[in-house]
Amino acid sequence: MGRITTYVALGDSFTEGLEDPAAYGFRGWADRLAEHIEADHLQAGQPGLRYANLAVRGRLIDDIVSEQVPKAVELGADLVSLCAGGNDILRPGSGPASVAKRLEQGVRTLTEAGARVLMFTGFDLRHVPVMRLAHSKIEVYNLHIHDIARRYDALLVDLWPMTVFRDARAWNADRLHLSPDGHRRVALRAAEVLGVPVDADWREPYPVRRPPVWTAARREDLRWARTYLGPWIGRRINGRSSGDGALPKRPDLAPLTAADR
């Protein structure tokens, strides 16, 4: 696409940047993408980027479309990234078609407002215990996302075939959120889709390491279930979210500063 002067990121914990710590909280792929865009502008001697991130952990598709999308329209951004529906898909009883219908409403609203929309498919999580149970639902949802992107001429970052994300080093210990390096690689791929030059390759393989001993791997699975899976299920049963009471980290368009890096 052409020169990007304003960028607004919408979504949940993936876009908020959880588990990619920074001095100001969490960085994440969207902040990193904004930095790549900014660097490209400065390299060309152009004014910098103004950037907002409205994503909040735990948000469902209805929250994102009804609250974040209108704010992005109000801000009048050139580029809006929209990744939503993952939290819905992981909940029992949710249907990919109904979630996709709501996502399409958000894409249509943003497109009609004149923004170029950057969309994302879901990851292939068949290698993750428990998450593999949602594999088929994510796959079907991804088909809807491809169709929406095509019909609204949206840019698409297809995360599903990126085999580098099948390595545990791309993920945080909770197996739900990306590691800092995982966020770095998503930002590089998104920059590639946008045509923004970068100095690294998201395809770079991780160093080879020996697989863990079976018994050690099972002990780690049990520790993960106690530490992360149990609390996650408890929140779902009690109707709570990790983002209850949380606010967007960058609610308004503003230039990037040295503190953002």
Helical H segments across 7-85, by residue range: 13-16, 28-43, 61-63, 69-75
pLDDT band at 50 (very low <50, low <70, confident <90, very high): very high
Across all residues in the chain, what is the average pLDDT?
A: 89
Burial pattern 52-86, b for ≥16 Cβ within 10 A else e, equals: bbbbbbbbbbebbbeebbebbbebebbbbbbbbbb
Identify the pLDDT of residue 238.
61
Strand, helix or coil at 255? Answer: strand
Asked if residue 202 has pLDDT above 70, the reply is: yes
Strand, helix or coil at 173? Answer: coil
Residue boundaries of the structural domains of the chain: 6-212+248-260
Asked if residue 244 has pLDDT above 80, the reply is: no
Identify the pLDDT of residue 185.
98
Asked if residue 245 has pLDDT above 70, the reply is: yes
Task: Find the radius of gyration of the CA atoms of the chain.
Answer: 18
Distances (CA, A) of 156 to 73, 121, 151: 20, 8, 12
Identify the pLDDT of residue 215.
74
State the angle between helix axes of 96-112 and 135-151 in degrees (0 to 180), rounded to the nearest 10.
30
- pTM attached to this predicted model: 0.91
pLDDT (tens digit per residue) in 138-178:
999 999 999 999 999 999 999 999 999 999 899 998 878 99
Read off the tokens for 18.
């959880």
Percentage, residues of the chain above pLDDT 70: 86
**Computed from CA positions of residues 157, 158, 159, 164, in that sequence, does the dihedral angle turn out positive or negative?**
negative
What does DSSP assign to residue 171? Answer: B
pLDDT band at 1 (very low <50, low <70, confident <90, very high): low
Class in CATH terms, 6-212+248-260? alpha beta
φ, ψ of residue 141 to 5 degrees: the values are: -60, -40
- Given a contact cutoff of 8 angstroms between Cβ atoms, the answer to whether 190 and 33 are in contact is yes
Q: Output 236 or 75, whichever has higher pLDDT.
A: 75
Strand, helix or coil at 118? Answer: strand
Question: If we measure between CA atoms, which residue out of 88, 116, 112, 92 comes closest to residue 102?
Answer: 88
Identify the pLDDT of residue 91.
81
Read off the tokens for 160.
């599903």
Strand, helix or coil at 27? Answer: coil
Read off the tokens for 239.
């109707």
Question: If we measure between CA atoms, which residue out of 9, 65, 23, 55 comes closest to residue 247?
Answer: 55
Asked if residue 255 has pLDDT above 70, the reply is: yes
Strand, helix or coil at 52? Answer: strand
Residue in the structure block whose two tokens are 């409205």:
54
Question: If we measure between CA atoms, which residue out of 6, 139, 183, 188 comes closest to residue 81?
Answer: 6
